[in-house]
Structure 1
Amino acid sequence: MRKQLFAAALCLAVTTTGCGATVEAPREAKSRAVTLTNCGRKVTYDKVPERVVTNDVGITELMFALGLEDRMAGFAMPDDKGDLHGVPWKDGYDKVKWLSKDQLTKENVLDAHADLVFAGWNYGFREDGGFTPDALEKLGIPSYILTESCHNGRTKSSRGIMPPLDALYADLTNLGRLFGVEDRAATLIAGFRKRIADVRAKAPKGSDRPSVFLYDSGRDAPFTAGRYAAPEQIITEAGGVNVMHDLADSWTTVGWESVVERNPDTIVICDYGDVSAEQKRKFLLSYAPLRDVSAVRHRRILVLDYADLVESPRNPSAIARLGAYLRTVPAGR
């Protein structure tokens, strides 16, 4: 994910904890039981977790950003995440065990003697494989669900219950309470809000806001971001308009005809997986149905990393970089 190319920028997003800085040890909560609201329901944790297992890069880095690597027993993520030693949380990646280069399984969790699983729907939790919070509860292992991924009840699989940055702040606040690092979480959130506000102040306004299509993957039909996925507010705060804002879902599939109809001024590519960003770019530029789309005609395509575009402490840095790019993009042309 070429993280080493923008590690310095990421450091700015986490100045409240510092890059490689030593932070105070989490204090023990006054009460061993903590009740949080997670995905719209009250969940009580009987003790402060000491062996947390996480799934995927964004979720793992939420723990690292809060200085909670000492509370972790391991993480799972694919090996397409690039050089993780170039990120601000190098010490966390060096310290915590990489359990699996696939999604978490019950075996991973049991082998790690986990006392909390922090994952999300489609970020580890999945009905088809039987790896769900309910299944873990039967094993005596509590869970915390990434708020970006909460099911919203509109369809069986649609996700998202609040604006994406609110989801990020909700999770940081909850984790701060659970692990007794409320001040650290509040400082981190305040730093993120300030950085985002600085970008917003420079962003185009009104009809000058360029429209943006987020392209994740897919040739027959594109996988993209609705209004509950992190790119929605990354685009909005950077000064753009997500052309798929009307989709009451997070990450979802649409038809190419809807992209053509909405004629985005620019396209953001999500860089991850077996298909490289350059391969995705070549496809978009050569795909005949898109030839009259403004972003394709003018070759206005920006690449951001997967970890920038899912809920993670990298979101403010992504907003800053996209904001700088969008200030060069004319709207409607």
Structure 2
Amino acid sequence: MLKKLFLLIFTINTIVFGKVPQRAVSASQFTTEILLAIGAENQMAGTAFLDNAILPELEEKYKKIPILSNKYPSKETFYSVNPDFVTGWKSLSAPANLGTVEELNSNGVEVFFMKSLESSDINDVFSDITELGKIFDKEKNAENIVFTMKENLEKIKEKLPKEKIRIFPYDGGETAPFVVGGSGIGNTVIELAGGENIFKDIRASFGNGTWEKVLIEDPDMILIIDYGDNTIDKKIEYLKEKSPIKELDAVKNERFAVIGLVDISAGIRNIDAVKKLAKMFHNVEISIKGEI
């Protein structure tokens, strides 16, 4: 009897959670690019939260999908496209944004959060891409992307020098620097590229550091995260002219590197970001295959 009950519950769950989305909304750039890359564009009803320019090879697909908002759309706008699935930043499920998971589910919207949002393991990124492939019935496409990403990562590892350089990963902020912490994929990308994050001890993907620590650590290079209205030029101008670290060698000698927020957010760009940073950190040229 118990075995029959278990099979019934399993079957019900398979039906409910195995439904292939046809009206998906992506509320982050990294999930948008994953869905476009695996070929799910015809199953998308809207996108939101673009941090950087969309990948050129995905731009044609992207333009065909309604942009609901630059940030989170209102609930009215969100439900106007009759969504059956949503994914993106976990903050989408805040009551003031798109509503709690329970609220979304009660309105017929399945919710998927990538486990790599709260992980520093690059293998979780690969797993999430594969899982989205399964959800959207694009499993083979997703597997091909992951295979190439893994292959490219091994090529990069072979070329990198053993010594690491110390990196100050600066997102923004003046009273205190907002930085890449040690518990997310951003830190992993930095490490895979041969960098050592001076704020790796922060137990979060991003968090507040201190200018005092930057002064003490005297990093070899400053990695500036690019997104939003606070431009790279503004961030560099602040660091050079007004910041507490303006006398550091890395600042005075303009040892700045730049990477997009989407590049260090869990997604299809991560291995290419490792390649880019390896070039910036170590001046190493590495030839890899296109990921898409």
* Interval containing the TM-score (normalised by the shorter chain): 0.7 to 0.9
1:69 paired residue among 20, 34, 41: 41
1:58 paired residue among 30, 48, 51: 30
Indicate the residue corresponding to 2:179 in structure 1: 224
* Cα drift, residue 148 of structure 1: 3.5
CA deviation map 1:101-146 (0-9, x unaligned): 2213322331110000112224x33355463322212323110113
Q: Is contact 2:86–2:109 with CA below 8 Å preserved after alignment?
A: yes
The residue type equivalent to 1:201 in the other structure is: E
* Cα drift, residue 47 of structure 1: 1.0
2:74 paired residue among 98, 105, 110: 105
Distance 1:128 1:259 in 2: 36
Indicate the residue corresponding to 2:239 in structure 1: 284
Distance 2:46 2:98 in 1: 20
Q: SS where residue 118 of structure 1 aligns?
A: strand
Cα–Cα, structure 1 residues 319 and 69, in superposed 2: closer, same or farther, change >3 Å?
same
Indicate yes or no: 2:254 matched with 1:299.
yes
The residue type equivalent to 1:143 in the other structure is: V
Q: SS where residue 57 of structure 2 aligns?
A: coil
Q: SS where residue 189 of structure 2 aligns?
A: helix
Distance 2:244 2:180 in 1: 20
Distance 1:284 1:276 in 2: 13
Indicate yes or no: 2:164 matched with 1:196.
no
Q: SS where residue 277 of structure 2 aligns?
A: helix
* Cα drift, residue 204 of structure 1: 2.3
Indicate the residue corresponding to 1:171 in structure 2: 128
- Displaced runs of 4 or more, over 6 A: none
Q: Is contact 1:200–1:239 with CA below 8 Å preserved after alignment?
A: no
The residue type equivalent to 1:103 in the other structure is: Y
Cα–Cα, structure 1 residues 316 and 134, in superposed 2: closer, same or farther, change >3 Å?
same
CA deviation map 1:15-45 (0-9, x unaligned): xxxxxxxxxxxxxxxx99659xxxxxxxx61
Cα–Cα, structure 1 residues 321 and 251, in superposed 2: closer, same or farther, change >3 Å?
same
Indicate the residue corresponding to 1:120 in structure 2: 89
* Cα drift, residue 236 of structure 1: 0.9
Structure 2: unaligned runs, 5 residues or longer: 1-10, 285-292
Indicate the residue corresponding to 2:208 in structure 1: 253
Indicate the residue corresponding to 1:3 in structure 2: none
* Cα drift, residue 67 of structure 1: 0.9
* Larger gyration radius, structure 1 or structure 2: 2
- Percentage identity across paired residues of the two chains: 27
CA deviation map 1:277-322 (0-9, x unaligned): 0111111122352134342243210111222122221111111111
Structure 1: unaligned runs, 5 residues or longer: 1-30, 36-43, 150-159
Distance 1:237 1:134 in 2: 37
CA deviation map 1:197-239 (0-9, x unaligned): 222222221xx21011211111111211112322211111111
* Cα drift, residue 168 of structure 1: 1.6
* Cα drift, residue 170 of structure 1: 2.1
* Cα drift, residue 164 of structure 1: 4.5
Distance 1:258 1:135 in 2: 43
For these two proteins, the number of residue pairs brought into alignment is 274
Indicate the residue corresponding to 1:321 in structure 2: 276
Q: Could you state the TM-score of these two structures normalised by the residue count of structure 2?
A: 0.85
Distance 1:283 1:60 in 2: 32
